């Protein structure tokens, strides 16, 4: 029982204290404490096998704080994985190279709800089965097949 007693005593030294009525939060933080202490024990075992003196090894509290700071800085230290994306400045430069877009028509013309075609005739649509007509301002484009 030496390993279990050692684990319990090390967890009790720096336990993550959380006051919650939710049982799964207590279980989660207990498992995090168990994993952290086990990782620290592996760190100590590997350090001694590599010849690092015990004075130079991290204490449990220092090990926990080092792991926490590394997890907080995770995205800032590593580059992104996957397909590289364009930077904001490169995206703006790409838009500038494409040239200007066609100018929009004025707002009254855009919002008058009439279809504006280049050429065509204006016809009214026949009534449907319910007696309602379709919008009489429908424009049909004429197609030349010469």
pLDDT tens track for 82-97:
666 656 667 667 766 6
pLDDT at 144 (0 to 100): 52
Which pLDDT does position 130 carry in this prediction? 54
Instruction: Count the residues in the chain.
Output: 146
Q: Residue 129: what pLDDT?
A: 54
The better pLDDT of the pair 2, 109 is held by 109
Over 90: is that where the pLDDT of 119 sits? no
Q: How far apart are CA 143 and CA 139, in angstroms?
A: 13
pLDDT at 98: 67
Which stretches of the chain are assigned E, i.e. beta strand? Answer: 121-122, 139-140
Q: How far apart are the first and last CA of the chain?
A: 97
| CA nearest neighbour of 97 among 105, 86, 106 | 86
Unique residue bearing structure tokens 């429908």: 138
Say if residues 115 and 137 touch (Cβ distance below 8 Å): yes
Report the pLDDT value the prediction gives residue 27, as an integer from 0 to 100: 93
The confidence score (pLDDT) of residue 73 equals 79
Q: Using only the alpha carbons of the chain, give its radius of gyration.
A: 36
CA distance 146 to 144: 6
Mean of per-residue pLDDT scores for the chain: 76
Question: DSSP 3-state assignment of 109?
Answer: helix
Q: Which long-range contacts (CB under 8 A, 24 or more apart) does 141-144 make?
A: 141/117
In percent, the amount of the chain with pLDDT more than 70 equals 59
The answer to whether 116 and 109 have CB atoms below 8 angstroms apart is yes
pLDDT, one tens digit per residue, over 27-58 is 999 999 999 999 999 999 999 999 999 889 99
């Amino acid at each position: 029982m030496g390993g279990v007693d050692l684990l319990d005593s090390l967890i009790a030294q720096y336990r993550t204290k959380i006051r919650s009525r939710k049982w799964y939060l207590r279980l989660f933080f207990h498992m995090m404490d168990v994993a952290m202490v086990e990782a620290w024990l592996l760190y100590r075992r590997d350090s001694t096998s590599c010849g690092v003196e015990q004075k130079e090894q991290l204490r449990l509290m220092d090990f926990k704080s080092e792991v926490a700071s590394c997890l907080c800085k995770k995205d800032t230290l590593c580059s992104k994985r996957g397909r590289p994306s364009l930077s904001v400045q490169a995206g703006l430069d790409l838009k500038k190279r494409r040239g200007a877009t066609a100018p929009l028509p004025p707002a009254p013309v855009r919002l008058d709800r009439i279809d504006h075609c280049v050429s065509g005739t204006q016809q009214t649509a026949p009534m449907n089965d319910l007696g309602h007509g379709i919008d009489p301002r429908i424009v049909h484009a004429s197609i030349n097949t010469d």
